[in-house]
């Protein structure tokens, strides 16, 4: 039995390392060509920092996994053998416990200090202070709606332009949004932008992103459809599974043309309110 347990634990150790190194062929089964480290390729200006943190934590987890499983396999092999001597009892080893505490605390401190800069860049208002609100994002059961300022350039007026499901944005521009919920908790999650933010009823939460045009072109090279997913990452009711959307990225000239078309459709009688 000892050898069987040792073998199983050893195989589990090898299996874990293999799944980490060969994730493309195993975990994603196989993963799309655009996936890197379990993620679709990032295309936002702060995506590389997020991926760097992910890799750092993943490597730390792998090291701890190897140490833990390695010691467990060794101890099962060594101490599960039949013995004739009496067992000894221990209430712990102070030095070993302190060493473990130092190692774990050191790892946590590494993560804490590594994430301060990227977190501030993504979440603190100082990173987009002074930028105008590009649009509002409204979450509700079970869809996404997007509201752009109309010809008057102000949100919350009669000439606002509203779309559902698809968010259209220009590339290579820092865009600030107000995220809101009409009913329950939702979560605005865009994997390719490395952006995730809960929307809370009664709160207006500013978020921002900037699509890197070169990375966007590289990620969708040779593909006709260059839009990408919006996901609700918060269980929000029976229709949560279908609460999805898309982001379409355009050049600034094409975006302005698209917006002109939306305005013309909104005021199809030829009269824009406020003129």
Residue 39 has pLDDT above 90, yes or no: no
Dmax over Cα atoms in the chain, in whole Å? Answer: 98
Q: What pLDDT, in 10s, does the model give residues 154-213?
A: 998 888 999 999 999 999 999 999 999 999 999 999 999 999 999 999 999 999 999 999
Return mean pLDDT, the chain: 88
| pLDDT for 115 | 93
Give the whole-number percent of the chain exceeding pLDDT 70.
92
Nearest alpha carbon to residue 34 among 169, 228, 196, 189: 228
| pLDDT for 270 | 54
Question: Is the separation of the CB atoms in 141 and 237 below 8 Å?
Answer: yes
Half-sphere exposure of 74 (CA within 13 A, CB side): 6
- Residue of higher predicted confidence among 225 and 85: 225
Q: Using alpha carbons, list the distances in angstroms from residue 96 to 33, 63, 93, 99, 102.
A: 45, 18, 5, 5, 10
- Go through the domains of the chain in sequence order and give each one's CATH number: 2-80+99-123 (no CATH), 130-266 (2.60.40.420)
In this prediction the pTM is 0.82
In the structure, what pLDDT confidence band is assigned to residue 274 with cuts at 50, 70 and 90? very low
Residue 80 has pLDDT above 90, yes or no: no
């Amino acid at each position: 039995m000892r050898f069987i347990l040792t073998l199983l634990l050893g195989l589990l150790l090898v299996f874990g390392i293999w799944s980490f190194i060969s994730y493309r062929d195993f975990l994603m089964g196989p993963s799309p060509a655009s996936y890197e480290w379990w993620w679709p390729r990032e295309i936002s200006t702060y995506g590389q920092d997020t991926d760097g943190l992910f890799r750092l934590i993943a490597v730390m987890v792998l090291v701890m996994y190897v140490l833990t499983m390695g010691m467990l396999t060794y101890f099962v092999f060594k101490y599960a053998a039949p013995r004739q001597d009496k067992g000894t009892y221990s209430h712990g080893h102070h030095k070993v416990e302190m060493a473990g505490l130092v190692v774990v605390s050191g790892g946590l401190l590494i993560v804490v200090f590594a994430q301060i800069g990227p977190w501030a860049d993504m979440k603190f208002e100082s990173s987009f202070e002074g930028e105008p609100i590009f649009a509002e994002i409204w979450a509700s059961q079970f869809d996404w709606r997007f509201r752009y300022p109309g010809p008057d350039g102000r949100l919350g007026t009669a000439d606002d332009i509203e779309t559902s499901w698809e968010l259209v944005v220009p590339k290579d521009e820092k865009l600030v949004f107000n995220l809101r919920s009409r009913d329950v908790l939702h979560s605005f999650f865009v994997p390719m932008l490395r952006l995730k933010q809960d929307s809370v009823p009664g709160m207006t939460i500013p978020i921002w992103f900037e699509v890197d045009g070169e990375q966007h072109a590289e990620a969708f090279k040779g593909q006709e459809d260059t839009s990408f997913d919006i996901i609700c990452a918060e269980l929000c009711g029976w229709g949560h599974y279908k609460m999805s959307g898309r982001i379409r990225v355009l050049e600034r000239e094409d975006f302005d043309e698209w917006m002109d078309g939306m305005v013309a459709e909104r005021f199809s009688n030829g009269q824009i309110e406020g003129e």
